[in-house]
Amino acid sequence: MIIFVKLLLAHLIGDFILQPNSWVLDKEKKVHRSVYLYLHTFLHGVLAYIIIGERAFLGFAILLALLHGFIDFLKLRFQKKKTKRNWFIADQLMHLLVIIVISLLYNDQTIDFSLMDNQLWVMLTALILLTKPTSIIIKNIISIWTPESKNDKNDDSLQNAGNYIGILERLFVFYFVITGHYEAIGFLLAAKSIFRFGDLKEAKDRKLTEYVLIGTLLSFGIAFLVGLLTNYCLLLF
């Protein structure tokens, strides 16, 4: 399992943290002619090899990188504007399947499975997952319901404030689950609802209200689930 956790961490860093929007746009425009497709593929292999930290994993790292690049190429080649959401989900599921298969195939007894190290990798992976990766995942999931804003020009909100608020709320929920303070999650959700109520009431937009509600529940739900899975993994180790 720790091999899976490490490879998942490498994937999250390579696919979300270290891949700027400029790379994504260039790949979507040029597909296989984009240098960033190959740089992105190479980066995944390097990250997997470094995080696993074993010479014996080199061949598997190369295989992982090649499969990752091929899956990305398929997505870029066949996705259309209307199907980007579906291809994003399929792309991530295929990457996850590759990680699972390689985790099962690779077995090196020289890896140090110390308790503290394993728990650290699990916690780090969970925290990284709840930041930018989850923001992008939620954005893609609810993209089909994105309402058209009528007040973009008069929007006085801070730049990317909603994104950072979402990350912080997920980290808080994760902390409350890990520490067993489940009642605090209710207070956090209530507090956000109170602050959001004024804005949504003023907007008088039912679609916007439903959109925000779906995003909030997804954000809290994912953080809660990741917290439960993390607790389970920590018990295993």
pLDDT digits (tens, 9 = 90+) for 93-145: 999 999 999 999 997 655 555 666 888 999 999 999 999 999 999 999 998 88
Write out the two tokens for 213: 């509600």
Write out the two tokens for 160: 């990317």
Percent of the chain residues topping a pLDDT of 70: 86
Q: Is pLDDT above 80 for 207? A: no
**Cβ contact 56:110 at 8 Å:** yes
Give the residue-averaged pLDDT of 49-66. Answer: 95
**Cβ contact 14:95 at 8 Å:** no
Indicate the pLDDT class of residue 195, thresholds 50, 70 and 90.
Answer: confident
Q: Is pLDDT above 80 for 67? A: yes
What is the three-class DSSP state of 34? coil
pLDDT confidence of residue 18: 95
pLDDT confidence of residue 34: 96
Q: Is pLDDT above 70 for 233? A: yes
Higher pLDDT, 70 or 108: 70
Q: Considering the entire predicted model, what is its pTM?
A: 0.88
pLDDT confidence of residue 200: 61
Q: Is pLDDT above 60 for 204? A: no
Q: Cα separation of 101 and 71, whole Å?
A: 15
Q: How far is CA 48 from CA 12, 53, 61, 192, in A?
A: 11, 8, 6, 38
Percent of the chain residues topping a pLDDT of 90: 67
pLDDT confidence of residue 37: 97
| Closest to 52 measured CA to CA, from 128, 108, 131 | 108
Query: Any residues with CB less than 8 A from the CB of 79 and at least 6 apart, and which?
Result: 87
Q: Cα separation of 126 and 50, whole Å?
A: 19
**Cβ contact 52:6 at 8 Å:** yes
